Amino acid sequence: MALVQAGLDMGLDEVWVIPALPVHRELSGMADGKTRFEWLQQIFSAQPEVRVLDWEIVQKAPTPAVTTLRRFQQQFPETVPWLMLGADAWAGLESWQQYPAHRGLCNVAVFARSGIAADIVASHQGWQRLESRDWPGADGSGYWCYIPVDLPDISATEIRYRIEHGRSLADLVPPAICDDVEKKYILLKENM
């Protein structure tokens, strides 16, 4: 939610949320793609400037980000999307599948993450840095800018830990889905 709000605060016309089946790590399996998609729809139902898309979860297999970016380019050739990443994900961008193809498909807004200091957020070779105030002036793809907004330090690991120890998730997940998430995880845990 914080990343979406940061994107809206940047002045983006729309923010698209695409639940992932990532290729670089395995999900816990506690909530399938359809369930995560429905939760995101609930969270953002009152925000028409936020679209939740099922592009990756309908693939039923891990989907590299570059595949989603290529789909976007095919459907919207006149628009260059801004991929919103935490500084930790930006730091590891060069390990992503088919990198550096991403540079020709998008721009990247990099947000602070706990444990990654702003002064170590560096550019990857070939990307052009813009100051955060200048991002609307990006002409084409291959630009990045650092957005000095701290994202909350929330991780799936912490959520799983709390569930395993019977602790509330109220301060970690949005109120609109908190009860559903807790019930889903507790039922799955009991059936294991």
Is it the case that residue 25 has pLDDT exceeding 70?
A: no
- Same structural domain for residues 93 and 184? no
Say whether both 105 and 190 belong to one domain.
Answer: no
The rounded distance, in Å, linking the Cα atoms of 19 and 160 is: 18
Q: What is the pLDDT of residue 89?
A: 86
Provide the 8-state DSSP code for 192.
Answer: -
Interacting residues of 112 by C-beta distance below 8 A, sequence separation 6+: 86, 87, 118, 121, 146, 147, 148, 149, 150, 151
Residues 86 and 126 in one domain: yes
Is it the case that residue 93 has pLDDT exceeding 80?
yes
**Domain match, 123 and 138 both:** yes
Question: In terms of residue numbers, what domain contains 50?
Answer: 2-152
- List, for residues 49-60, the tens digit of each pLDDT value: 999 999 999 987
Examine the pLDDT at 115 and tell me if it is beyond 70.
no
Angle at 69 between CA 65 and CA 74, to 5 degrees: 150
Segment 25-35 shows an average pLDDT of: 70
* Contact by Cβ (8 Å): 181, 173: yes
Summarised one tens digit per residue, pLDDT across range 73-88 is: 999 999 999 999 988 8
Q: For a pLDDT cut of 70, what percent of the chain falls above it? A: 86
